[in-house]
Structure 1
Amino acid sequence: MDAVAAEFESAPLALRLLGPMELFAAGERVALPRSKKTRALLAYLAASGRPHRRDRLCALLWDMTDDPRGALRWSLSRLRKVVSADLERIEADHQQVFLSPAGMRIDACELARIGRAGPGAMDTAELDRAAALYRGEFLEGLELPDFLDFSAWCIDQREQARRSQCEVLSELVDRLRDEPERALHYARQRAQTDAFNPTAQKVLLRLLLELGKVAEAQQRFDHAQRLFRQVSAPDAIALEQAWNALRKQPSGAAVDEIREHAPLLPGVDVDADADQGGARPAFVGRQALLARLEGLVERALQSGVTELALVTGEPGLGKSRLAERLSGSASVRGCVVVSGRAFEAESSRPFGPWADALAIDLQQTVATDSPASREHLFDSLRARLAARAGQGRGVLVVLDDLQWFDRNSTELLHYLVRTYDRGPMMVLMLARGGELPDNEAALRLLRGLRRDRTVHQIELEPLGRDDIANLVGAMPGGSKQHVVDVAGGNPLYALEFVRARSEGLAGTPPTLLQLVRERVAKLPDRAADALRWGAVLGHAIDLGRLEGLMSQPADELVNALERLEHSALLRIDTTRVHERYVFAHDLIREAVYGDLSHPRRRLMHRKLALLLEPQAADAAVAAELAHHASLAGEALLGVRACITAGQHALRVFANSEAEALARRGLRLAGELDEAQRVESSLDLLHVLYAARTPEREQAARDARELAERALDLGLTRAARQGFQMVSYLRWENSSLADAHANILQAERVSRLAEPGERAVTLAQAARCLVLLERNLQQAEAFVLEADAVGRREGRSSAAVSFALGMIAAHRGDAEAAVEAFTAARNLARQQGEHLAEFGAIEHHVMLDLDRGQIEAAIELASDLVELGRRVRPGAELPSARALLALAQWSRDPASDDRELAEAVEAVRQADAKYELSYLLSRWAERLLATGMVGDARVLANEALEVARAIGRSSDLANAAVILVEAGHRQGSRGECDRLLGQLEPLAAKDLSARTRRRIASLQAQTTAVDKRAEGCERP
């Protein structure tokens, strides 16, 4: 095998997909990207061998990513580095991506070709090389359970690879029948790869016995029987018969060894939690129940009466293991143990469990079926049982799988319990509680027994976490904590996960998924249908939705749910006020959902999405609707839900979720017609840009293109929104002319809008004009019109209040500004417009600092910092922290300003020029007031440069005023005159009232300086 591996890996490029994913270039291992999705993309492109559309790849692997197309581009760039050493293999354009397989070996593809051609056509050496290709499951360890389409494809690939490998191994074992040592190697592989194939297990057992490996054969048989009894009674019976036949064939020495390794108690086998690779697991968590049953045995022995007990529980909880321990304990007490079990496939076989328990052929006697012969049969069986019991102090009768007992067997049990008088007897019945209601004979038996006697019923509950940890503590493979988490208290699940990990298998063991599927297959149709709809709904099942989806009478739905609850597939969630069901274990949903075909899954998600659509106004429902609509391929429904859910996510500060919803919606929007695409894309971009600060230049171009197209299509609301976004993005990017033009365009478009929308647009236009200090008279007209419209319509708007505050602050009416900013803050918080809330508080802080209200500014700035932590990542939080630092430092400007310096540096890095200009100028003013002229000049010069970049006249004038004042103190007359010359044209601009006061004060200072200078020059 090592030679085969070396030969495979020596190819120019060799990709191993069977087992852990590996890549080799000319015999040297190539490090794969760490990203699981990037590796999954490589596997998908390589294994499929054909081109794929980019949108299909995005949907396959990046359904909930931040940027599906960007993530795909990033992954492709990483893959090019590892697969294109010798030639360019990844061919990609705007539509498709293709991985060229030229000169490349892929083990999964080679094995698939062998499977299609048929192993019989190959010679043995070729088959041996083919078998060596399979090192484990397809993409072992590469699980993406949240991406269902990829998971479904991966499962299908695993099944195909497993089938091909089994065919190769089967052919090898058959050809090497005369070389059992060589054949055994392949037989072991086949039995492990195809665990549920009875033929594979029988062949392995035969070879092991032929070679005298009796202990291993016994262990293999025990393990296989445990699994088969859970999924296929006929296979379990056939395997047991084959095993019994094989045990008669070896030499006497071998037979003795078989007997030595056989179970101590014939007929009492371990349940699904019994044996793992020959290592006996600990008996944990059931000691109290065992003691209770031992007490019943002791009481029967002491009193000489018959005791009855019924143990129920879902498969894998340890019913048979408990019975085995009780049997051993009873044997120590001198009891004879008689045990039998029923099989689902033999439910029509009369007296099947009793025939096995008492080792007697009853078929001939039963055939006569006359009352006399039946009474004679019952008496003879009672006598046979008594004869067995006579060999000890009493008898323990263990009867497993009562839910599959035939009518004759239940009637015989009732007869024996009623008439047995030959000494102490304890009857232990084991059953799957959820399946008992389907067996009327078993129910009739229990009713009859309970009328005359006490039946001690024990319901096995899942084991606690500590018990599961103790169970797997000494077992090989896997993380104990992980196994404890995924087992959900089921010993079978825990041990199967351990076994899978020890064999290098990742994910949920196929054996467990198959066990769940077999349990579902036995359900009545309505119960199975309810379970499938539940899997589509998710882990938690809302009963109202389930009822709406299934469209069946309430009593039938209740019956179906009760059956699922009794079968331990669902349980009631007691942690919620409103009753709902949840899956008893996550792997149940995984198995049920995974069993749905892709078309059926999409139809079910579509029906659920349509059911949720009327409730889309509820933000919590909108997020679910977006999920189900996208899985159903209902693009428009999904897009609308993404918009609603994204807006709600912003209101509750779930920015990452809002971003993901917006990007998912944008991907779905590509499937809509142009008008719907343009309108919804602008809504989604609004959510996206509020959730995360975008790359402003590209974002502005995208929004501008959509806004113009919306205008062409007559979509006035969308166009208005688009131009507003462009204006804001241009303002943030210091492109003031573009910001001005776009906000005026938004205002023009809004003239055809309904009054509420028009008012908001006017207010936002007014606020923008004030920020830009352009057309202040027009800004006042806009905001007054917006306020009038709002009053007429009876609507309050944060945008209108914010704009009124900006106008008032600019003209120097501090009281009116404070009132308007406070109203804007409260309205924005109520309406979930957190960026507007941030802006209102920010300007309120600036206003308080400028009018000397330091303590009020500190309190507001503290609130601003808290809000900044919760809004989008960007310039908001650094700006809030810097304003708080400035306010705190302003209490004592002579104190250390290092904290302020650090905060301002963060604003520089965030490129928030508007806030930076304000911070630098106010910091410089306070430094100048304390006599630190040099430091003040440095800051003022920077403030002047920033003000030039954003083009705000008031900021330019403020910085110039500080520099002139500093020049006066340092006697720099020439510098002062130059700066005063720059101030003259600014005076004609729409400067703020504060700036005009600062200029007036400076002019007075300059006049005084000039007069003093003139006095000094006179002789």
Structure 2
Amino acid sequence: MASAVDTTPLVGRADLVATARAALLDDVAPGNTAGVFLTGESGVGKTRLLHEIGGQLSAGGAVVLTGSCLDIGDASPLHPLRQALRRLDAHLAPAAAASVRALLGVFAQDSTGPDGAGALLERVSRGLGVIAGGRPVVLVLDDLQWVDRTTRQLLLYLLAGLGDLQLSVLAAVRSESLQGAHPLRRVLTELRRLRSVRVFDLAPLDRTATEELAAAIVRAPLAPEAADRLWQRSGGNPFVVEELSRDLRDGRDDLSDTLREVFLARVDALPQPAHRAVHAVAAGVEPVEHRLLAEVVGLPEQEVLAAVRAAVAHRLLVGSEDGYRLRHRLVAEVLEDELLPAERALLHRRYAEALTSAPGELHQARLAHHWRLAGEPERALPAAVAAAEEAERLYGYAEAHRHLSVAVELSQGRAGVDRAALLGQAAEAAHKSGEYARALALLEELAATDSAPPACELHIRRARYLAAAGRSALAEVEYQQALDAADCTPGQRATAAAHLAELLLHLGRYADAGQRAREALALAEQVEGATTEVVLASAALGFSEAYLEDPDAGLVVLRRALDTAERAGRPEDVARAYLHLAELLTGPLNVIEEGVVVARRGAERVAELGLGRAYETRLLAIATNGLFRVGQWAEAEKVIAAALRHRPSGADAVELLLARCRLSVGYGDVEAADRDLDAAATMLAGGGARHVIPLLTLRAGLAMWQRRHDVARHAVQRGLTETRSDDLVILAVLVWHGLRAEAEAHASRTVAVDQNAVRRLRDIADRVAGRSVPAARPVRDVVDGYLALCAAEVSRLDNSDPELWARAAAEWDRRNHPYPAAYSRLRQAEALLARRRRTATAGRLLRQAYQVAQGLGAVPFTEEIRGLAGRARVELEERTSGRAETPPGAGEELAALTAREREVLAAVAEGLTNKEIGQRLFISERTIGVHVSHIFDKLQVRTRVQASAIFLRSRVSVSDT
């Protein structure tokens, strides 16, 4: 079960290889001996390590003798040494080979008599000394568990220093073979006490190394689902990882015959009681408690203990305080086909009966699982429903959805079961766990039953699920149909109005949202216990008031809604209240730092409430956008990576994709930005302005960096034509991008300026300015900042006005938005240089913009600044007096790097590739390439080696201080 030596990369063992080489060669004094023994289960990579370490020892000048022990006991004395000498003989010159053949001849001599064995060992030792010729000798032995007695004596003789040469031993031992009174167990125990001997117990690979090995074999990073399944099935065993990865690469779903036969052989080698115990654990839900296992296998206590001990010794089971698990879940797949259907059903029946008879709390989820597989759905169904209710009490909505899905399946065609109620519960659980498409499908199945809910209720639920899935236009229609339905009760009207107010808020129609929110609150006053409706309507009303009228009053309403939600304890109400508060602070009110704190605090809270996949990801997207605006791009990357681990769907996924795209556009990662925009557009069928306008704005921004000004123009015009929004901020951003696209077209002279588009954009900018007058002051301030950019961009179409750009820079400085402030300074410098005025001021402005761009990691922006500076002969790096005489220390050299760039540089210094760094930091390989280029620019180096040297020098200087 050894891994293929030459065809796969060595992963996760580099430190061990270095340690073994040092122990066997570098740290061994002349005349001394050393030993390194590698122990571990089959397939853990021992043979591969012997090959790697042996190669390094040979390159270091040692004579390496490599042999393998045979599984035939003492029938072939000194077989591994003979094999090693024959291999050496085949690669030596004739003169040197004579010494090897002389030593081989020693084995043919009679060693009987009282001193025969001792004399043989002494002659072998002398012969090895002749072959070595003063060089260290390393004896590499594989499968040492099968070592013959004579070879074992020789190893002990040489390691005891009784020979006349410097000898080291490197050996691998299959740990599951060392059972009972195996003589090597005692030998290894004794050897562990010697300072010159190191024994390493090889553990399986961790998850990161497992995915790295698999990606190397598949030749592409694994999808998250495939990576999860591989990890669960392999347990990190390299041999199993390699086999499964080859199957994955070649498109095979079934388990390979190689793996199947390997595991079956190991199970078949067990004593019969242990065989039964492994089959039972494979059929159970891990961990299987000792008491439960004893009842299922039906053996006396001592026999159960002996059986488990044997299975653990053979590396098939692992035991802990909470019970027993299979070392590899793959064993369960193999054994499933080895039992007859009736045998499997009997095992599951025994588990169900044992669980039912157990004192204390009943494990409903396990009970449902075992009764279902025992072929008794009528007993599994109530257990599945009870398991779902238990999960919902603990806010485990994903688990509840899974159990209810089972219950729906079990209820098919069964009399006396309220299938409609199960479908309704399952749909709601799917919605809460972020499975929006599944929720809609279950709801449609419910609507087709004879016991379907009234039309109004169906409209409300369908609208909620559609809104969560990002299909806002359809959701709005459904809410209106609910309000118009004849069977709509006062409570349902309050619910529909409150949810519709929230939807309109998300669509950016704040005035409409406020009106609906007031209607919902009036309706809720007539309904007892309408807490959810009050929270939703209050959040929408508070946001609307803060945006349109009075920020302070609106914030008070929103914070009160959050307090109400927390007191009521409904998870979704708490999540929505946090969501609206964080959006208001980071968006219209521009209190970004506080908004980021609220978003992150809310994300932690909703994760506690079991809504991580849906609301936590949305809150983290809000935090990311806030961090982006204040220039903390590296921190924003980390937040996105954390959110994406939830694998969100629907509107939640769109929020994250757009947030990540903003970073990619800023970094200049064109491929990643394009990919995210395409994915978001695919998911936005029926989406509203809240998502569509930012998406088209990003599309325009990306196209401008690509010099595709006509594409940018088209994206902006689509945004102005196809959507409706009261959100003056996102409209102002879109108009700025449109005017910037026309200005860029004018400057490039590659695309003609569209004067009609310019007139339309200027008209819309004027309308935005007029509509912002009655808006709340913080909203007006942000809108004024974008309108200042718009006015300055218009001036570029004729003769760029430096004063307009200075005004824009001042606007954004006041709001602590470093990127648009730096962009304004670039354009101000450009205008000054074009007029051949105040070149010193232009140089200062370019240096300020360059410093911000470098700090952010904004590569395209940096390149544009460099291009202008180069044409104007402006030095971007200010030189201080005395700098040439006293160069900065390495720590100062790294001061120019952002936090993310330091992380990337540390990984570069480890020797990792861009792909490996991307996998570690959860960002694309191309983005890593952008970071590396940026690092080279800042450190003024050309190679990874030079950059690594600066990083390592920095660590030394820090440690010296």
TM-score by length of 2: 0.40
Greater Rg over alpha carbons, structure: 1
